[in-house]
Amino acid sequence: MTEPTGKPSGLSAREQPQKSSITSEQIVRAAALADLEFSEDEAALMLAGVSDNLAKYAQLRSVDLPNSALPAIRFDPQTPAPIPASPRRPVSVRPHKLPPLPDDLEDLAFWPVTHLSTLVRTRQVTSRQLTEMYLARLKRIGPRLECVVTLIEEPALEQARRADEEIAQGIYRGPLHGIPWGAKDLLATKGIKTTWGATPYKDQVIDMNATVVERLEAAGAVLVAKLTMGALAWGDVWFGGKTRSPWNTEEGSSGSSAGSGAATAAGLVGFAIGTETYGSIVSPSTACGVSGLRPTFGRVSRHGAMALCWTLDKIGPMCRSVEDCALVFDAIRGPDGYDPTVIDAPFDWPQRADFSKLRIGFVEDEFAEDRPTKALDEAALEVLRGLGAELVPIKLPDYPIDAAQIILWVEAAAAFDELTRSNRDDLLVRQSEDAWPNRFRVGRMVPAVEYIQANRLRMLAMQAMDDLMADIDVYVSPSLGNANRWLTNATGHPLMVTPTGWRENGLPATILFTGRLYDEATVLAVAMAYQEATEFHLAHPKLEE
């Protein structure tokens, strides 16, 4: 018997996508089978989504899934238990020639962590001074960008006082010691509201700190604000408004790490933490022109973070430079015993890119497409060639991976099952076909078989990516467009977002560097080499005071 190849095949007549004849009445009746009650209006809003799912099922069925194809879901018989962090080699800041200390402390607002940490370590500037400066900017500029949910003033000043006291005593915790930062408001903070950006949860207080919050506190960083996020991690609209890009306040900052991108770009925090399931670090990093690292799935514990999609959610830093991302990533990575997906993989930094030894790919067909950033994308490739990189044309795996997006909708529907059943989803600001309340309902209509088949297709894509990455170390792709962004979210690969210039509407443009699983060091090194050969990351928006 010949084992099927797993490659896409032709569709049978029965499986060909047909124009949907589904009716609202059928959806209402189908919902009753799951003991759910949808109104006629809600069912009508679901029609397009349910029909789109039918097309995705046809795509899934176009792939010959061999019996040996496992679903991309793992069962772990061990229940999570806290474990101590493993010993690690401290990551230090490379020597930098700093500009002269400005007379006006606020001129430090846009300095990267690499520079700020040197000032704090050498006691040229105190953590309290930095904290007071950023708090003042958060109060003054934050409302204009609609990027702050909760200002954390007194606890931040106390953390800063403690940092200054320790440093004066010769106790230095590392490059984040005394540096003010902002948290996406899905990270739990004990005694401080964690709203998830959504009206039903706007007064929620979770009695714990997320692991990421604990680790940054242990590193001496100073939490100054909980930053906005699109409601339940979609877009830039939250219960208090729409977060704006500081480069063009007529435009949204994109999402869902909306406030993290806007506040970092606007010089309101030293750095921020974002999360990504589909594009929630990549997209706001692009709209706001910051450097964002989406680590390998399973690198950073999500304990204490809002769950949206257990097999896709990732946490990463959003900073003003690639090197800053490396410093923050090192502080938050590694297992904690609570999130069983996290592994203890090495992170060798600082690292320099040796282009004579690296194979750098570029996604040929994506660069050939006509897009608003085409000239900037091609210019970025020329910079890499100028650095000595031999760019190898590559093609992404040839699977209908978009069909696997039903994984996200199903898991999200499960994560917010109670919200849907209680009808409190009506409290969310966005109520449209392409918004969470409707997506949660549509997700409930996906058959369990199709969810498993989507995960088996995902496994084939993961194996194809293994084959691709066996021949290259890193590859480059444009940030506008979903092909690589969704594919690598589904396969769990690390990705670095780096500014490349500006679009006609005044918003920044970026390029994406994708690397091998658990090899953030090489991705960061290549992106840093590009960044040091350009000056796009050094620019900052001219905010009218």
Q: Which residues are catalytic?
A: 184, 256, 280
Answer whether the bond into residue 479 is a cis peptide, omega within 30°: no
Rounded-to-integer distance, Cα 6 and Cα 27, Å: 33
Token pair of 450, please? 């199709």
Rounded-to-integer distance, Cα 270 and Cα 509, Å: 22
Answer whether the bond into residue 175 is a cis peptide, omega within 30°: no
| Strand 241-242 to 237-238 pairing | antiparallel
Rounded-to-integer distance, Cα 107 and Cα 128, Å: 16
The secondary structure of residue 481, as a DSSP letter, is S
Rounded-to-integer distance, Cα 526 and Cα 389, Å: 10
Nearest to 441 by CA among 414, 466, 472: 414
Angle between helices 40-61 and 24-33 (to 10 degrees): 80
CB 410 within 8 A of CB 448: no
Q: Dihedrals φ, ψ of 333, to 5°? A: -75, 165
Rounded-to-integer distance, Cα 541 and Cα 499, Å: 13
CB 46 within 8 A of CB 27: yes
Placement of tokens 């692991």 in the chain: 211
Placement of tokens 């105190």 in the chain: 126
Rounded-to-integer distance, Cα 388 and Cα 367, Å: 20
Nearest to 49 by CA among 444, 439, 420: 439
Placement of tokens 């991309």 in the chain: 72
CB 278 within 8 A of CB 485: yes
Rounded-to-integer distance, Cα 233 and Cα 228, Å: 10
